């Protein structure tokens, strides 16, 4: 899967978790965790294949999704 598709997926999963009852203030943390999980899944779920670079990439995906979420929230005004 192309790397550009991970951020919208993380954003959607974060929204899903929020709608399941997670407080909105924890959404950025959930996005970061989901980003690292997505990077782990992309490594084939193998800790030996999971590198620090992939973990950092997952962190960047989560932070990007979190920024997209908060930026959209600021534009809408909620």
Q: Which residue has the higher pLDDT, 58 or 2?
A: 58
pLDDT tens for 27-74 read 889 999 999 998 888 777 666 767 888 889 999 999 998 887 667 666
Whole-prediction pTM: 0.76
Backbone angles phi, psi at 35, to 5 degrees: -65, -45
From the list 51, 34, 33, the residue with the least C-alpha distance to 43 is 51
User: Residue 27, exposed/middle/buried by CB under 10 A (0-12, 13-18, 19+)?
Assistant: buried
The pLDDT of residue 66 is 85
What is residue 39's predicted lDDT score, i.e. its pLDDT? 87
Tell me if 42 sits within 8 A of 5, measured CB to CB.
no
pLDDT at 69: 67
Residue-wise pLDDT tens digits, 6-18: 899 999 999 999 9
Contact by Cβ (8 Å): 32, 41: no
């Amino acid at each position: 899967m192309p790397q550009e598709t991970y951020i919208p997926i993380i954003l959607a999963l974060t929204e899903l978790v929020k709608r399941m009852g997670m407080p909105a203030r924890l959404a950025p943390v959930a996005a970061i965790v989901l980003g690292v999980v997505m990077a782990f899944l992309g490594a084939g779920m193998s800790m030996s294949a999971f590198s620090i670079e992939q973990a950092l990439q997952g962190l960047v995906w989560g932070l990007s999704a979190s920024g997209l979420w908060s930026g959209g929230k600021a534009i809408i005004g909620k």
